[in-house]
Structure 1
Amino acid sequence: MSGHTKENLPGEDRSKWIISRAYDLSWFIAPGFLAVLIAFISHQLDFPKDIGLGSGRTDGKALPPWLWLLLIPGVDVSHVYSTLFRAYWDKEVWNRKKTLLTLTPLFCFVFALILYSFGKLVFWSAVAYLAVFHFIRQQYGFLALYSRKEEGSSNLSLLWDKVTLYAVTILPVVYWHLTPDTRRFEWFMEGDFFYFPNELLAKSVHVLFWIWLLGYAISQIYYLLNEKQISLGKILLITNTSLVWYIGIVYLNDDFAFTLTNVINHGIPYIALVFAYSSFRRKNLPSVFYSAFQKGILALLPFVLILIILAFSEEWLWDSFVWREHSDLFGNKSVIRSELGLGFEFILVPLFFLPQFTHYILDGFLWKGGEDNRELRGFLGFQKLDP
């Protein structure tokens, strides 16, 4: 076990924040608020026009190339590869969880092959719902950390926080399912959700969303008036999450707003969390990474560069052999013209989706702070590690 202790962790004021006040506000909270602000301004300026890009994979050709590169390879796909630092490149974690880290990709690939055998739409529908669950669970994970750091919080208040987090994320998705004719975006591709149009029920869900938020706000004011300390990080996270899911899905109702808010609020906080974790665990990383993380924040450049290279490489494969949409960006016109991969999508799609699928599954195990995750509990400040 590494010799790091709670006092060695990056940042300060660990009692109420995951890393530190400045770090949390800058990297876990601000990205969502900033994305919502940009989405509002862009909507007023009508930019970009007539786009058709969901949070994963729809008609990417409709986005300006620079924006597509920034949002998809730059953030969305890059955050997937940060799992390498969290697990596969951490020697101690690899040795302790070798079975999990080895079998998960194998399971994901076989399962994806089986899914795709039922058809393209079945595959993308299944992974769309898995992605929705994954996106929600990440916000739940951040909330759980802030709630546990809230002094004097009872089990009932923790439950109320968690149920509220699920409400402000699931209700907009339910509204989406009930209003397919008015939604101008998809998650991965057209038809990947099962829709149940019902205008009256949709209005009821809309009203319930705001009633729930109001009820939660009143409850937090009540806790505060009773001299109980409330975690500012928790309140900001709930507010952030509510805005991102409501504005991106219900209010602005355009694909750019949905993509921007969803991708930024999900990808950047995760990358920032893994970067902080990797800095804490640097002695367990390969020497080349250990040397980089000894330089503190300067390690961010090589860290991000590695993620972008891996993400760009994956997107090159997708574009060359499956989507064939961005030849000007990837310089792969000759590969596309050769029509390599045609007829082999049944194996190429599950193969290329493997990093993302593996990330979805591993995330459910790697970030749980149980006793078998002592290095994580130490990183989060819940446990002092042995020297």
Structure 2
Amino acid sequence: MAQSLLNRQPWIFSARFDLGFILAPAVLVTLAALAWPLVGSALSETSPWLWLVLVVGVDVAHVYSTLFRTYLDRAELAARPWLYGLTPLLAWAGGSLLYWCGSLIFWRVLAYAAVFHFVRQQYGFMMIYARRERGLPPLFRRIDKAAIYGATLYPLIYWHCHSRQFSWFVDGDFIRLDLPLLATTAGIAYGAILAAYAVKEAMLLRRGAGFNLPRNLLLLGTATSWFIGIVLFDNDLVFTATNIIAHGVPYIALIWGYGRNQARLQGASSSFLAPSIARLFTWRAVPLYLAVLIGLAFLEEGLWDGLVWREHGGIFGIFEKLPSLDASNALIWLAPLLAMPQATHYILDAFIWRMQTRDTNWKQVLFAQERAVQQVGQP
């Protein structure tokens, strides 16, 4: 009975896959953060090797996973050539203009673009897991939206109104607001939204609509990881871990699951630019899939460290022979060029997963398992 109820949930791929790689990361990193005070003296700072795992292995790596959804897909490129052709060029040109106006302006705009991207990813997952909930009062969907936005925006408002010992990219990239009352008001509003959400869930159960496990786990993981990483703790390591793992791991898993469905549906006529790409999306090839992403991320961060930061020579020793261009006018074009993959990822991600668009190919691929089950159940 329990297995049957679990299988009827609106998973993207399957109960095991979604629970393990999309929903569990935020919950597990939250539990780890709560245990942090027990080992706080040993992990008071982000060590270089832990930084390598979190920032390079997850955060930067997840940026490059978008390649499999966009630039490495022949059909996708043909469908929107202007979007994929102009986005990186405009990101570079716009970034250069911003950097010319001031390095802090560049990093501030990039930080807020990243924040928007992180917030919208959680909203996107929320709407995906609520996709079967049709015929309910519109107020219920508005409460869902308010809850997921509250789970992300309240901690951000608190961050803007209180001094924190961490930053998104560089010191001072967020605008400082000396408005603690604003944070308090936002907290009260957030609490009211969560109360309304709980009442709404009780009403759904009373109506016999059931309990949407993945949607509720998504909200739980988002609310706890963002609150603990930003509000409860004022620690760079806790923020880095909760921020990166809860965002990056699910995205990498989403792209891999999408690629696996695409390879299965298309078979020998795969739209990937090369047949070898489709072979990455098998369980045996997961290490190779991750190695490709981490390799590209390592190259990017090595260039950043060798040309600009000079902070992790022990990790990026091979890049130490590069000339240091920090405080050079060359950074006006170099920094935006190095940030171009990241900026392109932020922009494209706002287009490639739009739930409002009907009958799109990506929905048929992403929900292939669901469609197969529906077809089997038809007489």
The verdict on a shared fold, with TM-score over 0.5 as the criterion, is yes
1:186 alignment counterpart: 167
Report how far residue 290 of structure 1 moved. 2.1
1:208 alignment counterpart: 189
From 162, 187, 192, the equivalent of 2:145 is 162
Q: Which amino acid aligns with 1:281?
A: Q
- Is the contact between residue 152 and residue 228 of structure 1 (CA under 8 Å) also seen in structure 2? no
2:2 aligned with 1:42? no
- Is the contact between residue 82 and residue 274 of structure 1 (CA under 8 Å) also seen in structure 2? yes
Distance 1:149 1:48, change over 3 A: farther
Q: Which amino acid aligns with 2:146?
A: V
Paired with 1:144 and 1:360, the residues of 2 have a C-alpha distance of 19
Q: Is 194-203 or 30-39 further displaced after alignment?
A: 194-203
1:113 alignment counterpart: 96
Paired with 1:205 and 1:292, the residues of 2 have a C-alpha distance of 45
Paired with 2:236 and 2:135, the residues of 1 have a C-alpha distance of 42
- Is the contact between residue 136 and residue 169 of structure 1 (CA under 8 Å) also seen in structure 2? yes
Gaps of 5+ in 2: 1-5, 264-269, 373-379
Paired with 2:359 and 2:254, the residues of 1 have a C-alpha distance of 16
CA deviation vs aligned residue, 1:47-104 (integer Å, no higher than 9, x gap)? 55553xxxxxxxxxxx212201100010000000001101111111111122211111
Distance 1:75 1:334, change over 3 A: closer
What secondary structure is seen at the aligned counterpart in 1 of 2:321?
Answer: helix
Q: Which amino acid aligns with 1:200?
A: L
2:316 aligned with 1:330? yes
RMSD: 2.1
Percentage of pairs with the same residue: 39
What secondary structure is seen at the aligned counterpart in 1 of 2:130?
Answer: helix
From 25, 29, 33, the equivalent of 2:23 is 29
- Is the contact between residue 48 and residue 256 of structure 1 (CA under 8 Å) also seen in structure 2? no
What secondary structure is seen at the aligned counterpart in 2 of 1:281?
Answer: helix
2:349 aligned with 1:355? no
TM-score, normalised with respect to structure 1: 0.87
Q: Is 102-111 or 152-161 further displaced after alignment?
A: 152-161
Paired with 1:376 and 1:197, the residues of 2 have a C-alpha distance of 44
How many residue pairs get aligned? The number is 358
Paired with 1:106 and 1:143, the residues of 2 have a C-alpha distance of 32
1:98 alignment counterpart: 81
Q: Is 312-321 or 170-179 further displaced after alignment?
A: 170-179
2:261 aligned with 1:297? no
Paired with 1:190 and 1:114, the residues of 2 have a C-alpha distance of 21
2:22 aligned with 1:71? no
1:146 alignment counterpart: 129
Report how far residue 266 of structure 1 moved. 0.4
2:110 aligned with 1:127? yes
CA deviation vs aligned residue, 1:299-336 (integer Å, no higher than 9, x gap)? 21111110010000000000000111011111147425
Q: Is 229-238 or 131-140 further displaced after alignment?
A: 229-238
What secondary structure is seen at the aligned counterpart in 1 of 2:234?
Answer: coil
2:324 alignment counterpart: 339
Report how far residue 22 of structure 1 moved. 1.1
1:60 alignment counterpart: none
Paired with 2:8 and 2:343, the residues of 1 have a C-alpha distance of 32
Distance 1:224 1:82, change over 3 A: same
1:320 alignment counterpart: 306
Q: Is 143-152 or 207-216 further displaced after alignment?
A: 207-216
Paired with 1:371 and 1:211, the residues of 2 have a C-alpha distance of 32
What secondary structure is seen at the aligned counterpart in 2 of 1:328?
Answer: coil
What secondary structure is seen at the aligned counterpart in 1 of 2:248?
Answer: helix
Distance 1:221 1:229, change over 3 A: same
Q: Which amino acid aligns with 2:176?
A: Y
Q: Which amino acid aligns with 1:16?
A: P
CA deviation vs aligned residue, 1:103-130 (integer Å, no higher than 9, x gap)? 1111111111111111011111111111
Distance 1:144 1:81, change over 3 A: same
From 237, 240, 255, the equivalent of 1:259 is 240
TM-score, normalised with respect to structure 2: 0.89
1:236 alignment counterpart: 217
Report how far residue 156 of structure 1 moved. 2.6
Q: Which amino acid aligns with 2:341?
A: P
From 347, 350, 363, the equivalent of 1:377 is 363
What secondary structure is seen at the aligned counterpart in 2 of 1:89?
Answer: coil
Report how far residue 14 of structure 1 moved. 7.3
What secondary structure is seen at the aligned counterpart in 2 of 1:82?
Answer: helix
2:3 alignment counterpart: none
1:57 alignment counterpart: none
